[in-house]
Amino acid sequence: MKSEKIILGIDPGTTIMGFGLIKVVNKKMEFIQMNELLLKKYSDPYVKLKLIFERTIELIDTYHPDEMALEAPFFGKNVQSMLKLGRAQGVAMAAGLSRQIPVTEYLPKKIKMAITGNGNASKEQVAKMLQSLLGLKTLPKNLDSTDGLAAAVCHHFNAGRIETGKSYTGWDAFVKQNEKRINPPNPRRGNKTSKQ
């Protein structure tokens, strides 16, 4: 029996959102497409988030992916950058969840490790390995789209493994796994804090 699935990979960003799609037929990968959504020209951060959501929905409605893989924001020193990346990721995630698509996040190091065998590989090394794995003729100028494609390939390589990262099958699963974020403990109940 032939098994077939489509995986959408997204590298969320507020300047460029990279994305790539692969089809897996009997465990063999086939390249569908990769591209990027350019957001530099928009100054309003809410317009950027709206465009990320709309483009993700458009990709889902066009290609009907069975699963979605996202590159999780890495922890950096710039809190504002992390917040912006987290919002971009959340909006892409919400688009997938709104269409009942299972979403899995992968840390950048895990994606690099899955593609190249080196968690500290450069974007160029990841792109070259993807070119070899998927038989791509050329690589894009910006490597954000290959980062999105890498998330999809990483997800395929991790298929069937117990621990793949944070995974959500829909809003209910997200809420269950994030109860503390949704209903944070109230300091007035229980732990009393002294006021200064």
**Catalytic residue status for 61:** no
Catalytic-role residue among 36, 67, 71, 147? 71
CA pair distance 40, 56, nearest whole angstrom: 17
Q: CB-hemisphere CA count at 13 Å for 29?
A: 23
Tell me: is residue 66 an annotated ligand-binding position.
no
Catalytic-role residue among 36, 67, 105, 144? 144
**Closest by alpha carbon to 123, among 94, 145, 156?**
145
Tell me: is residue 71 an annotated ligand-binding position.
yes
Catalytic-role residue among 11, 67, 105, 147? 11
Tell me: is residue 124 an annotated ligand-binding position.
no
Q: What is the DSSP string of 58-120?
A: HHHHHH--SEEEEEPPP--S-HHHHHHHHHHHHHHHHHHHHTT--EEEE-HHHHHHHHHS-TT
- Cα separation of the two ends of the chain: 69
**Catalytic residue status for 66:** no
**Catalytic residue status for 144:** yes
CA pair distance 32, 120, nearest whole angstrom: 27
CA 146 to chain centre: 12
Q: Which amino acids are annotated as binding site for Mg(2+), given as ranges?
A: 11, 71, 144
Annotated binding site: 11, 71, 144
Q: Would you please indicate which residues are annotated as catalytic (active-site) residues?
A: 11, 71, 144
